[in-house]
Amino acid sequence: MPENNDLDAAHDYREQLQARNYRPVNVSPEILINLTNHLKTVFPGQFNEEKSPWELLSDFLIEKDIEEITLAEAAELVLTEIKDKEHPLYRMAKDSKFTKYDSLFSSDLLEYIENIKVACKDLNISVRDGVSIGFNNEEALKAEQQPVWLTESSVINISESLYIILNRVSKLLAKSISFERLSEDSGVISLNIEKHKKKILNDIELQKEWELFFTDCAYDTDNPLLGNVVVVSDEFSQACYSDIMESMTYFILGHEFGHHALEHSLGGTSEKSVDESLNMEFDADLFACKISAHIAKSDTKDNYFLQSNLGAFFALNILNLIRYSYQIVKNGKVSDSETPSDSHPHIKDRIEKIYQFIETSENHSNKKFATIALHNTMFDLLEFIWGNTRNNLLRMHIAGCAPKDRSKKNWLPGV
């Protein structure tokens, strides 16, 4: 059931927005089984007892003798055919938080938002009437918050392309970071940059994966090619990958939720000065950092990346490097102006504010210097990775490659 009427309106509005860019996702029993097998490899131990929703849906489709169907049609069929209202598939299809265009992955987002709401409650921040959140198929690497007129609720949309890019880069980072192991299943990120460099230099496949990542993003910054699946083999790196992914997602969703909680979009964007808009972006970033640090403190999983606000650091820097990749392939050089755009501050300024947050926040009070040292090492790591891959992008430019023409848009990372 919807929590309140305003949220119900937000939910309907989000469905309308999704409908504009909707591309049906076809599933078949085979696709669903492959997906389950993939998830079982990536997250060993998670599906030992219960069947995953994809397995259940696959069983259902086989029983109905259906070879292929869109996810939206499958949800409708589940509701008409399954009579047991406690059946996990029925409950999922019936869940009023989902629109008919939501994919099965949308439940991940709901969990993030629930945790953000709990953190807001702890910190005495009003969440107003809440948000309706989901993915959208828009061809753009972006997340956005939109207020719902005459209500106290908002819609938050994240593009599937952005989520996929975050996922891919989290795996690459997990493979590139060198740890000082404390025991079999714990470790801390090494502060010795030489160790990180050595790890990357010893892994030719990883170097190629980084090159391909930036090439795919440079070729089409709005909707990068998916590339090959990046395999993260050992359990320790897998845990690290999911922690990085989680920390970046909390930053991005926390930022959008910040625009909602801080009532930034009220009054319409046209009435705001450039300075006001830029300050709102900084405030939303700080909101996301504060929420992330709070969630990390109350979380039993001990996510090192979330605790240290490295999610903010990685998400902003990677989006910036994607922008640079595009510029190099297009023009042969980075044409970075130090001035902000009308709506978003320069990413370097945003990162600077995050450092200020770490220096002043109570969350970091007893480990401020260690956290800054960690950020500096990760900065050196990204510089090293970028230094190697940019040459490849430059070679592409010299060889006459050009990015897909998106000239109608002035592309900027949109969070």
Q: Provide the binding-site residues for Zn ion, judged by CB under 5 A.
A: 281, 284
One DSSP character per residue, 182-217 reads: EETTEEEE-S-HHHHHHHHHT-HHHHHHHHHHHHHH
Which CB sits closer to Zn ion, 284 or 347? 284
Q: How far is the CB of 56 from Zn ion (least distance, A)?
A: 37
Q: How far is the CB of 117 from Zn ion (least distance, A)?
A: 19
Q: How far is the CB of 313 from Zn ion (least distance, A)?
A: 17
Task: Look up residue 372 and give its two tokens.
Answer: 């800054």
Q: How far is the CB of 135 from Zn ion (least distance, A)?
A: 18
Which CB sits closer to Zn ion, 27 or 284? 284
Q: How far is the CB of 256 from Zn ion (least distance, A)?
A: 7
Which CB sits closer to Zn ion, 22 or 282? 282
One DSSP character per residue, 231-277 reads: P--SHHHHHHHHHHHHHHHHHHHHHHHHHHHTTTTTT-GGGS-HHHH
Task: Look up residue 78 and give its two tokens.
Answer: 């589940």
Q: How far is the CB of 374 from Zn ion (least distance, A)?
A: 25
Between helix 347-360 and helix 368-398 the angle, nearest 10°, is: 170
The answer to whether 147 and 260 are in contact (CB under 8 A) is: yes
Which CB sits closer to Zn ion, 133 or 284? 284
Backbone angles phi, psi at 404, to 5 degrees: -55, 140
| Spatial CB neighbours of 37, under 8 Å, sequence gap ≥ 6 | none
Neighbours of 108 (CB within 10 A): 14
Which CB sits closer to Zn ion, 119 or 284? 284
Q: How far is the CB of 284 from Zn ion (least distance, A)?
A: 5
Give SS3 for 362.
Answer: helix
Which CB sits closer to Zn ion, 177 or 284? 284
Which CB sits closer to Zn ion, 403 or 413? 413
Burial of 233 (0-12, 13-18, 19+ CB in 10 A): exposed
